[in-house]
Structure 1
Amino acid sequence: MRQSDKKASFIELGKFLSQFSEKGNHLNPEVKNNDRFFDNFVSLIELSQSHNGWFTPEQVYFSVQSWAEALTESNLDQWLSRYDFTNITSKTVGLILAGNIPLVGFHDFLSVLISGHKVLVKTSSNDQKLLPFLAEYLISVTPEIASYITFTDGKLENFDAVIATGSNNTARYFEYYFKDKPSIIRKNRNSVAVLNGKETKEDLVNLGEDIFRYFGLGCRNVSKLFLPKDYDFKLFFEAMYEYGDIIHYEKYANNYDYNKAVFLMSRFELLDNEFMTLKEDTSYASPISSVFYEYYDSADTLKTRLEADKDQLQCIVSNAVITDSIPFGKTQHPELWDYADNVDTLDFLIKI
Structure 2
Amino acid sequence: MGSLERRIQAFVKLGDFLRDFRMDDPESAEDEFTLAVERAGSRNGWFTRENLRHALSAWGKELTEENLRSWISAYEIPEKDPKVVAIIMAGNIPLVGFHDLLCVLITGHKALVKLASGDTELLPALIKKLEDFEPHFRGCTVFSEGVMKGFDAVIATGSDNTSRYFEYYFGNKPHIIRKNRNSAAVLTGDESQEKLRALGEDIFRYFGLGCRSVSKLFVPEGYDFQDLFTALIPFEGIKDHHKYHNNYDYNKAVYLMSEFPFLDNGFLVLKEDSGYASPIGAVYYETYDSPGKLKEKLESDREKIQCLVAEGFIPGEVPFGQTQNPSLSDYADGVDTVEFLLKT
Query: TM class by shorter-chain length?
Result: over 0.9
| Paired residues for 1:124-203 under 5 Å | 124-203=116-195
- Corresponding residue for residue 15 of structure 2: 14
| Paired residues for 1:305-320 under 5 Å | 305-320=297-312
Deviations 1:120-175 (A, max 9, x none): 11100100000000011111111121131111111210000000000000000000
Structure 2 CA distance, aligned partners of 1:65 and 1:25? 15
Structure 2 CA distance, aligned partners of 1:88 and 1:44? 34
Equivalent residues of 1:45, 1:61 under 8 A apart: no
- Corresponding residue for residue 99 of structure 2: 107
Query: CA 1:156–1:14 in 2, change beyond 3 Å: closer, same or farther?
Result: same
Q: Secondary structure at the match of 2:155?
A: strand
Equivalent residues of 1:108, 1:345 under 8 A apart: yes
Q: Secondary structure at the match of 1:18?
A: helix
Structure 1 CA distance, aligned partners of 2:9 and 2:85? 21
Deviation at 1:285, TM superposition (A): 0.5
Structure 2 CA distance, aligned partners of 1:88 and 1:308? 40
Q: Percent identity?
A: 52
Q: Unaligned 5+ residue runs, structure 2? A: none
Q: 1:51 aligns with which of 43, 46, 49?
A: 43
Q: CA RMSD in A?
A: 1.5
Aligned partner of 1:306: which letter? L
1:304 paired with 2:296, answer yes
Deviation at 1:38, TM superposition (A): 7.5
Deviates more, 1:222-231 or 1:138-147: 138-147
Aligned partner of 2:258: which letter? S
Structure 1 CA distance, aligned partners of 2:172 and 2:106? 25
Aligned partner of 1:77: which letter? R
Aligned partner of 2:255: which letter? F
Aligned partner of 1:320: which letter? G
Aligned partner of 1:62: which letter? H
Q: After TM superposition, which residue ranges in structure 1, 4 or more long, deviate above 6 angstroms?
A: none
Equivalent residues of 1:20, 1:26 under 8 A apart: no
- Corresponding residue for residue 119 of structure 1: 111
Structure 2 CA distance, aligned partners of 1:38 and 1:105? 26
Q: TM-score, normalised by structure 1?
A: 0.95
Q: Secondary structure at the match of 2:20?
A: coil
Deviates more, 1:134-143 or 1:215-224: 134-143
Deviation at 1:87, TM superposition (A): 6.1
1:275 paired with 2:267, answer yes
Structure 1 CA distance, aligned partners of 2:306 and 2:26? 35
Q: TM-score, normalised by structure 2?
A: 0.97
Deviation at 1:91, TM superposition (A): 0.3
- Corresponding residue for residue 247 of structure 1: 239
Structure 1 CA distance, aligned partners of 2:79 and 2:136? 21
Deviation at 1:26, TM superposition (A): 9.2
Deviation at 1:293, TM superposition (A): 0.2
1:71 paired with 2:63, answer yes
Structure 2 CA distance, aligned partners of 1:8 and 1:93? 22
Deviations 1:58-83 (A, max 9, x none): 10110000000000000000000000
Structure 1 CA distance, aligned partners of 2:79 and 2:21? 38
Equivalent residues of 1:59, 1:214 under 8 A apart: yes
Deviates more, 1:269-278 or 1:39-48: 39-48
Q: Unaligned 5+ residue runs, structure 1? A: 28-33
Query: CA 1:201–1:38 in 2, change beyond 3 Å: closer, same or farther?
Result: farther
- Corresponding residue for residue 340 of structure 1: 332
Deviations 1:41-74 (A, max 9, x none): 2333233222111001110110000000000000
Structure 2 CA distance, aligned partners of 1:193 and 1:283? 13
- Corresponding residue for residue 230 of structure 1: 222
Structure 2 CA distance, aligned partners of 1:141 and 1:325? 36
Deviation at 1:25, TM superposition (A): 4.2
Structure 2 CA distance, aligned partners of 1:101 and 1:142? 27
Aligned partner of 2:270: which letter? L
| Paired residues for 1:80-95 under 5 Å | 80-86=72-78, 88-95=80-87
Q: Secondary structure at the match of 1:13?
A: helix
Q: Secondary structure at the match of 1:335?
A: coil
Deviations 1:152-202 (A, max 9, x none): 111210000000000000000000100110000011000000000000000
Structure 1 CA distance, aligned partners of 2:158 and 2:19? 30
Structure 2 CA distance, aligned partners of 1:95 and 1:193? 30
Deviates more, 1:47-56 or 1:80-89: 80-89
Deviations 1:286-311 (A, max 9, x none): 00010000001111111111111111
Structure 1 CA distance, aligned partners of 2:248 and 2:306? 24
